[in-house]
Amino acid sequence: MSGQSVFTGTYYDGRTARPFSARAIPAQEGLRILLEGENVSEIIWDYHKIHRNPVNNNKIVLKYGDFPSETLELGSEAFLKAASRYAPDARFLILPYRGYLRIGSAGILIGVAGIIGLLLGLYFFLIPALMNFAADRFPRSLEYEMGQSMKGTFISSAQVDRERTRDINRFFGLLKADTRYKINITVIKSGVKNAFALPGGEIVVFSAILDTMETYHELAALLGHELGHIEKRHTLKLLFRNLSTYILVSALLQDVSGVMAVIVDNAARLNGLSYNRKAEKESDEYGFALMQKNHLRLTGMTSLFEKLKAGDGHEGEVPEFLATHPSLGRRIETVNSWIAGQTDNSKHHPGLDHYWQLLRKKH
């Protein structure tokens, strides 16, 4: 029996919590457990029926048999090595979590980088793709109701210019536009040069932006652009995306979501900004196509942008907090490059001009 190692520990028989001093001896025939006492008794455990609690900082805890199982607590890691001489493939020697339990600081750093990478990937690629998918399939009737309730909140605190609202809708009615939506435009009395589109077909135009315009081409450019936002469901996508951020955060972080949501919400706004620039370009393209189709003067679009750029810092088109100056400059360049490839086939539109004259007189 030379070369056998003996390990001391505590044994519990599974019937009571009474501790027995035990000596564990890994041997060929199995794990021999000698229970101390007046008469030393011996138990033999089959290596392949031993289970081990995956982790414990202080002790190796072995379980044997079905409910209620016997338990052996040992204090020395050397036991595992000794046992592996007799049964290297025994289940209790291989721990699923062993590999990364002692990952160390480098492992933690890699893990942290991994989490951050995964979250960024999720946030910048997977979620936008999923949200676009969802937004594209969102029922139009619900989209309309959502737009109505948003409009309701907004309009209640603003003054509607009824005459101009009537005329601008007639103006729009004369434009040839491909749209799946029933468009309704509202003119609001306001000194801010702004206009925005809501989901489901609502466009809100602030009176100050009308006052800066000089031609009906510019108004058509503005409406075409806003129609682009509606057709491409930009607001809906933005809403979905901000919403998904909350869902993601609360799902992943559970208890700490309160603090995190605030942090991530701010990040969502910054990200929403870049999303909107892309959306602006899509809407510009849409508006540009609309102007071509209606034989309008394409430079109406750039002159509109120029006026907004020269304005008082409020840019229009998008809610102010999303608007930025550099993007307008870049948008003018982009539209100019589109114009460069076109021949001017614009015609005079007496109908549009008629309503434009009515619209511009009223102030």
Partner 1 sequence: MNINKDIAAPGEINFTGKGGELFGILLVNFILSLITLGIYYPWAKAARLKYLYQETSFGGSPFSFHGTGWEMFKGMIKVIGVFMLLLLVLYIGLIFRSFPVLLVGFGVYFLGLLFFMPLAIVSSLKYRLSRTSWRGIHGGYRGTYGSMLKIYLKGILLTILTLGVYGFWFWVSVYREIFSNIRLGNVRFSFRGEGDEFFIMNVKGYALTLLTLGIYYFWWRSEVYNYFFRHIVIRQEERQARFLTGMTGSRMFELLVTNFLLLVITLGIAFPWVLSRTMRVYAGNLSVEGEINFGTIVQTEENYTDAGGEAFIDGLDIQLV
Which residues contact partner 1 by CB under 8 A? Answer: 10, 12-21, 35-38, 41, 53-59, 61, 63, 67-71, 73, 97, 100-105, 107-108, 111-112, 114-115, 118, 122, 252-253, 256, 259-260, 263
Q: How far is the CB of 110 from partner 1 (least distance, A)?
A: 10
Minimum CB distance to partner 1 smaller for 174 or for 261: 261
Q: How far is the CB of 131 from partner 1 (least distance, A)?
A: 16
List 50's β-bridge partners, or say none.
64
Q: What is the dihedral of CA 126, 129, 131, 134, to 10 degrees?
A: -130
| Residues 37, 22 contacting (CB under 8 angstroms) | no
Minimum CB distance to partner 1 smaller for 112 or for 160: 112
Q: How far is the CB of 19 from partner 1 (least distance, A)?
A: 4
Q: How far is the CB of 319 from partner 1 (least distance, A)?
A: 28
Minimum CB distance to partner 1 smaller for 65 or for 311: 65
Minimum CB distance to partner 1 smaller for 86 or for 138: 138
| Residues 304, 328 contacting (CB under 8 angstroms) | no
Which of 175, 179, 185 minimizes the C-alpha distance to 147?
Answer: 185
Query: What sign does the dihedral 290-208-281-322 (CA atoms) show?
Result: negative
73: helix, coil or strand?
strand
| Other CB atoms within 10 A of residue 311 CB | 16
Minimum CB distance to partner 1 smaller for 67 or for 321: 67
Minimum CB distance to partner 1 smaller for 120 or for 160: 120
User: Where are the alpha helices (H) located in 188-233, listed in sequence order?
Assistant: 207-212, 216-231
Q: How far is the CB of 106 from partner 1 (least distance, A)?
A: 11
Q: Cα(299)–Cα(306) distance, rounded to whole angstroms?
A: 10
Q: How far is the CB of 87 from partner 1 (least distance, A)?
A: 22
Distances in Å between the Cα of 105 and the Cα atoms of 95, 102, 111 are: 21, 9, 10
CA end-to-end span of the chain: 109
Q: Which residues are CB-neighbours of 292 under 8 A, at least 6 positions away?
A: 298, 342, 345
Minimum CB distance to partner 1 smaller for 107 or for 329: 107
Which two three-digit tokens encode residue 153? 């909140």
Q: How far is the CB of 326 from partner 1 (least distance, A)?
A: 30
Minimum CB distance to partner 1 smaller for 249 or for 332: 249
Q: How far is the CB of 43 from partner 1 (least distance, A)?
A: 12
